[in-house]
Amino acid sequence: MNMIFRLLLLSIRSRFGPRIDPTDVARTTFRVLPTDLDVLNHMNNGVYLSIMDLGRIDLMARSGVWPELQRRGYYPVVVSSTITYRRSLEPWQRFTVESRIVGLDDVAGYVEQRFVRDGEVCARGVIKARFLKRSGGIVPIPELAELFGLDPDDHPLHPWLAHWSEHASLPPRREPTPSVWD
């Protein structure tokens, strides 16, 4: 709910903003608000992840993919994420989130997102996402690639992403996963 007003504004801007191809870099501009701050008076690390959600929505909306996902009853879920921080974003500063699809594997798509201020990367995150069907099940990657207009062969997964994905994953939810500390 803390992003609801930004989401509403983004919905309007995405509807009337310039169209992009799903393979393009989507650039979405924001400003650091007082509600984004932590006790050190810079943008809280958790806020970055929420703003990344908005950047991906903008990418899908302006490329025309979002309405088609809704029509088919598909929705994205983040399976894994990682982010590295380089520079703080401070109150009222404007920044741009750059979002781009960077790869596909056999079950998921990967999006890199950068927080950019004055041409400099302040933070970079990557998410692994699956698309689920409201009727149940996972949207197969070939169908998803077709919907996004992607050729999976043109979007191979970078080796470090494959390594990260493998080592950051948890067992499927149907398998027991007890919390046991070594």
**pLDDT tens digits for 92-113?**
999 999 999 999 998 999 999 9
What's the confidence (pLDDT) of residue 87? 97
Residue ranges per structural domain of the chain: 4-15+24-168
For the chain, the residue count is 182
If we measure between CA atoms, which residue out of 138, 113, 104, 126 comes closest to residue 54? 113
Asked if pLDDT for residue 35 goes beyond 80, the answer is yes
For 54-114, the DSSP string reads HHHHHHHHHTTHHHHHHHHTEEEEEEEEEEEE-S---TT-EEEEEEEEEEE-SS-EEEEEE
Q: What is the pTM of this model?
A: 0.92
Q: In whole angstroms, give the CA distance from residue 180 to residue 108.
A: 28
**pLDDT tens digits for 138-161?**
999 999 999 888 888 888 889 999
**pLDDT bucket at 62, cuts 50 / 70 / 90:** very high
CATH topology for 4-15+24-168? Thiol Ester Dehydrase; Chain A (3.10.129)
Q: What are the tokens at 139? A: 């949207």
What's the confidence (pLDDT) of residue 1? 55
